[in-house]
């Protein structure tokens, strides 16, 4: 798994060449933010999934701040925020609204107003219309977004940790099967007096 992530990630030296990152100081180059292991990868996925639901263009900034705070993998977190986009944000926010309405006990009080039509020729106006629609949904949406972000982050963390552990067990068993009989360290230790 580590090799897979290392192939996708840029080297720290390449990242240091990006001048705009120098304004954040050395914190953004801390080795914990770039090292790939089970906890940092799972944490990066969780942070990215959580921060992906932050409204507006602050998703990557929020993910970067959270990565520095929790010392998890920064590139993975930044990539994971991209699951929200103009095509997915409305369905995700509708799910969040339903969750918030259910928790607040107002599930059937009023129908959800239909989301505005997205016009690619007028992205600014469409973005403003979506923002007004979200503000009109009020407290159920605010609570629902937080709950959905927590749920997605927890699921993402558990899936990465679980799949990483399953892969390690599979790799260990594969190595055990490839070894000739009688050459394992456990058997050698069991024969010693």
Candidates 108, 106, 102; CA nearest to 147 is 102
Q: What confidence tens digit (pLDDT) does each residue in 39-88 have?
A: 999 999 999 999 999 987 789 989 989 999 999 999 899 999 999 988 89
For the entire predicted model, the pTM comes to 0.75
Provide the token pair at 29. Answer: 């180059």
pLDDT of residue 43: 97
Counting Cα atoms < 13 Å in the Cβ hemisphere of 100 gives: 21
pLDDT tens-digit profile, the chain (193 residues): 666 666 666 666 667 766 666 666 778 888 888 888 899 999 999 999 999 999 877 899 899 899 999 999 998 999 999 999 888 988 998 899 999 989 988 765 667 777 777 777 787 787 788 778 777 788 888 899 999 999 999 999 999 999 999 999 998 988 888 887 666 555 544 544 4
Tell me the C-alpha distance between 43 and 161, whole Å: 9
pLDDT of residue 8: 66
> For residue 192, what are the contacts with CB-CB under 8 A and spacing of at least 6?
none
Pair 125, 177: CB distance under 8 Å:
no
With b for 16 or more beta-carbon neighbours within 10 A and e for fewer, the 97-109 pattern comes to: bbbbbeeeeeeee
Domain ranges of the chain: 2-180
pLDDT of residue 89: 86
Provide the token pair at 184. Answer: 């394992």
Provide the token pair at 129. Answer: 């219309």
Tell me the C-alpha distance between 48 and 108, whole Å: 32
Provide the token pair at 113. Answer: 């107003």
């Amino acid at each position: 798994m580590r090799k897979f992530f290392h192939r996708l990630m840029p080297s720290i030296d390449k990242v240091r060449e990006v001048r705009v990152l120098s304004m954040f100081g050395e914190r953004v180059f801390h080795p914990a933010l770039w090292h790939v292991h089970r906890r940092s990868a799972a944490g990066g996925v969780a942070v990215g999934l959580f921060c992906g639901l932050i409204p507006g263009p602050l998703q990557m900034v929020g993910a970067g701040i959270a990565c520095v705070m929790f010392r998890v993998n920064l590139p993975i977190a930044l990539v994971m925020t991209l699951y929200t986009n103009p095509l997915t944000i409305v369905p995700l926010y509708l799910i969040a609204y339903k969750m918030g309405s259910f928790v607040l006990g107002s599930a059937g009080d009023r129908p959800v107003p239909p989301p505005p039509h997205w016009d690619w020729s007028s992205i600014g106006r469409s973005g403003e219309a979506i923002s007004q629609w979200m503000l009109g949904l009020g407290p159920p949406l605010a609570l629902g977004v937080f709950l959905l972000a927590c749920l997605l982050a927890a699921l993402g963390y558990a899936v990465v940790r679980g799949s990483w552990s399953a892969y390690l067990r599979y790799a260990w068993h594969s190595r055990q099967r490839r070894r000739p009989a009688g050459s394992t360290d456990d058997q050698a230790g069991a024969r010693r007096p």
